[in-house]
Amino acid sequence: MSVSEASVSAALATVLDPELGQDLVSLGMIERLHLDDGAVAVTVQLTTPACPMKAQIEADVVRAVSAVAGVRRVDVDFTAQVRGTPQEALPGVKHVIAVGSGKGGVGKSTVAANLAAALARDGAAVGLLDADIYGPSQAKMFSVEGKRLMADDEKRIIPIKSHGVKVISIANLVEDGQALTWRGPILHGTLTQLLQQTVWGELDYLVVDLPPGTGDVQLSLGQLVSLTGMVLVTTPQDVALLDVRRAYTMARKTHVPVLGVIENMSWYELPDGSRDLIFGEGGAKAFADKEHLPLLGQIPITRGLRESADAGVPLVVAQPDNPSAMALQQAARLLAGQVSVQALNTLPML
Ligand code: ADP
């Protein structure tokens, strides 16, 4: 019995992208369909190479297409194309994602570094702008400390590629260890330069490591580019959550979508396998639930995470099997999923 393309397409139209909530055919995600005597090959174009739902989509496609009469075999493969709205200020960059926190020391920079490296590991084109003017640490976390930035013929800055990520830190612009006071206009000018005078090329995601709190950088960034959204990093205890709420309120007031919350330092695993909840339990989840935000991950405290940050290799690269690395890799995938959802809500052509 010969199988018609129409019947296979009809079956595919019953498969929903679990995050986007629409079917693969209407979303334009069926890139190729090949039928050969009951053997069906489907190429699904994901909206991010860091798709957290790939396995489920594959299983759902196989189930739906196998149910079509005459189909005896289904092969699914994947490509990915991040969809974004080009913006004048950053023509090649599809999404700008800010990583913020209410206060310092919660591991925001460590999380930002690993999110960027994790997205790159999954195959996305990623940039990282360290805009943490009070404690720029990305140059160290990516081993590009002290490296002079080079310019192209048009005097545009060439970012330094490290661990698959194009990195630029405000630290690369100043002498090592020099204290900086950033007055408003200088800060705005420097940020403009770093963002707009940099040869980013084509990027799926530009991750921006913000300073903690709710200051000038947050405001300037919002004026300079259109942010796809912001990720909030917090530790579980009440004081940290109080501060993260302030950051959340500012994002709301400035109309920046909050893509999710990452709880860092959630617990320390003891040698007997039990968890020491050093900073309390469940704080970020309660906050995320109350504000209807996704909790993208809970990152345990591990020696590896601290050591890899100091050694200049993001943990997801240095020790992908470390529990903190696995939680960060998964958080990056869930974040990429939220970016796709955000893009679907704002891109009319989808
Ligand atoms: P922030 O950017 O919020 O100020 P950092 O990312 O600089 O914080 O982290 C502060 C310190 O805590 C760094 O030394 C970092 O290596 C360490 N750190 C952050 N998260 C963890 C974790 N989950 N486990 C172990 N060390 C961590």
- Count Cα atoms within 13 angstroms, Cβ side, for 122: 33
Distance (Å) of CA 306 to CA 13, 95, 114, 128, 273? 46, 28, 12, 20, 20
266 alpha carbon – ligand 1 mean position (Å): 12
pTM metric for this prediction: 0.94
pLDDT above 90 covers a percentage of the chain that reads 73
Nearest CA to ligand 1 atom 22: 301
DSSP string, 280-321: -SSHHHHHHHHTT--EEEEEEE-HHHHHHHHHTS-HHHH-TT
63 alpha carbon – ligand 1 mean position (Å): 44
* pLDDT tens digits for range 173-210: 766 555 566 777 778 888 898 899 999 999 999 999 99
Q: Give me the mean pLDDT over the 335-341 stretch.
A: 96
**pLDDT score, position 350:** 41
106 alpha carbon – ligand 1 mean position (Å): 6
Q: Which residues line ligand 1 (CB under 6 A)?
A: 101, 104-110, 135, 137, 264-265, 299, 301-302, 305-306, 309, 324
337 alpha carbon – ligand 1 mean position (Å): 25
Q: Give me the mean pLDDT over the 93-98 stretch.
A: 96
The residue to mutate among 99, 101, 103, 110, having the most atoms of ligand 1 within 8 angstroms of its beta carbon, is 110
Q: Where are the domains of the chain?
A: 5-80, 93-345
- The band of 347, judged by pLDDT with boundaries at 50, 70 and 90, is low
Nearest CA to ligand 1 atom 15: 306
| Nearest atom, ligand 1, residue 106 CA | 3
> Is residue 110 scored above 70 in pLDDT?
yes
CA–CA dist 269, 50 (Å, integer): 27
The residue to mutate among 306, 319, 326, having the most atoms of ligand 1 within 8 angstroms of its beta carbon, is 306
* pLDDT tens digits for range 228-280: 999 999 999 877 788 899 999 999 999 999 999 999 999 998 888 889 999 98
Which CATH number describes the domain made up of 5-80? 3.30.300.130
Nearest CA to ligand 1 atom 26: 306
Torsion sign across C-alpha atoms 61, 63, 67, 71: positive
Comparing 7-11, 117-121, 266-270, which segment has the lowest mean pLDDT? 266-270
Arch. (CATH architecture) of 93-345: 3-Layer(aba) Sandwich (3.40)
> Is residue 49 scored above 50 in pLDDT?
yes
CA–CA dist 253, 249 (Å, integer): 6
**pLDDT score, position 1:** 65
| Nearest atom, ligand 1, residue 309 CA | 16
45 alpha carbon – ligand 1 mean position (Å): 36
Following CA atoms 79, 20, 113, 275 in sequence, which dihedral angle do they give, to the nearest 10 degrees?
-120
- SS3 letters for 117-158? HHHHHCCCCEEEEECCCCCCCHHHHCCCCCCCCEECCCCCEE
Nearest CA to ligand 1 atom 20: 107
Structure letter (DSSP) for residue 273: S
> Is residue 282 scored above 80 in pLDDT?
yes
Rg of the chain over Cα atoms, rounded to whole angstroms, equals: 22
92 alpha carbon – ligand 1 mean position (Å): 31
Nearest CA to ligand 1 atom 19: 107
111 alpha carbon – ligand 1 mean position (Å): 8
